Copies of this chain bind each other. A is one copy, B any other.
């Protein structure tokens, strides 16, 4: 249990003494806090906190912490999650035709840059199979038609559950997921949208950006909700373009951006630094 930390993510109505009581809970059990971030939304009178402490020397075993914390959580009607830094989340990547984000994630994993296991790659096209399997990752091809869409998604969900997948990454996956799927993986599906949302939501944002004549394009990493392209935003970045850039040039520039923004959003999720709040996120960077 050396070097393992516990991370508590919580939110509740704002109230006096929350920081004191939560840090006291840890201190009394001999825990050493290494990070504490707190945010109060004045307009909504809500309190958000992320606190990380060392398990080494802590009076409670990791399996005892939840029960010990529950009374305090109940008193303040907290929503809360407990994570441990030695757990490696199990991730599945969905992809369609555009491979750049998939490739980037596979290489990050290969370089031990990703704090997650890439357990499966799922696609409605067979194209990615060879490369994926070359890196020792399981590849599943689920061709999707208008007709079999519902059944295929059910099979995918079944597979993910059997494989104990914690997190789904849509790395330029062009199929829309149903409410049922989204509910099961609520706040655990990350999508990369190839525009600076809310600008150019929907189809073909490269073309939309070209037609509008913007001087900057962007990419957005966000959690997926039923309202397409309206999920809570985790990370965004932009890059300059000019009149010289064709739609193809915009695509080339954007692809670099998408890779980096998706990786950044994913890293923040894997480090348990994100709290979702309505259609927004608190990101304790």
> What residue of chain B has the Cβ atom nearest to residue A107's Cβ?
B103
Which residues of B lie under 8 Å from residue A35 when comparing CB positions?
Answer: 38, 40
Residue A213 CB within 8 A of the other chain = yes
> What residue of chain B has the Cβ atom nearest to residue A213's Cβ?
B280
Chain multiplicity (copies): 4
A210 to B17, CA, bound (A): 28
Return A12 CB to nearest CB of chain B, in Å. 14
Which residues of B lie under 8 Å from residue A176 when comparing CB positions?
Answer: none
Knowing A110-B131, A111-B103, A196-B216 touch, does A32 contact B16 (C-beta < 8 A)? Answer: yes
A285 to B242, CA, bound (A): 10
Which residues of B lie under 8 Å from residue A242 when comparing CB positions?
Answer: 283, 285
Residue A215 CB within 8 A of the other chain = yes
Q: Is the CB of B281 within 8 A of A213?
A: yes
Return A85 CB to nearest CB of chain B, in Å. 14
Q: Is the CB of B16 within 8 A of A36?
A: no
A243 to B283, CA, bound (A): 7
Checking B17, B33, B199, B281 against A27 with a beta-carbon cut-off of 8 angstroms, the contacting residue is B17
Which residues of B lie under 8 Å from residue A24 when comparing CB positions?
Answer: 20, 23-24
Which residues of B lie under 8 Å from residue A42 when comparing CB positions?
Answer: 34, 246
Residue A26 CB within 8 A of the other chain = yes
A93 to B282, CA, bound (A): 38
Knowing A27-B20, A216-B218 touch, does A37 contact B37 (C-beta < 8 A)? Answer: yes
Q: Is the CB of A99 within 8 A of B113?
A: no
- Please classify the interface of chain A as helix (H, G, I), strand (E, B), loop, or mixed, using the class held by over half of its residues: mixed
> What residue of chain B has the Cβ atom nearest to residue A243's Cβ?
B282
Residue A200 CB within 8 A of the other chain = yes
Most B CB contacts (10 A, CB to CB) among A37, A110, A199 go to A199
Q: Is the CB of A19 within 8 A of B36?
A: yes
Checking B19, B199, B238, B256 against A260 with a beta-carbon cut-off of 8 angstroms, the contacting residue is B256
Return A245 CB to nearest CB of chain B, in Å. 10
Knowing A215-B236, A246-B42 touch, does A27 contact B16 (C-beta < 8 A)? Answer: yes
Checking B32, B39, B107, B232 against A104 with a beta-carbon cut-off of 8 angstroms, the contacting residue is B107
Checking B34, B212, B235, B244 against A215 with a beta-carbon cut-off of 8 angstroms, the contacting residue is B235
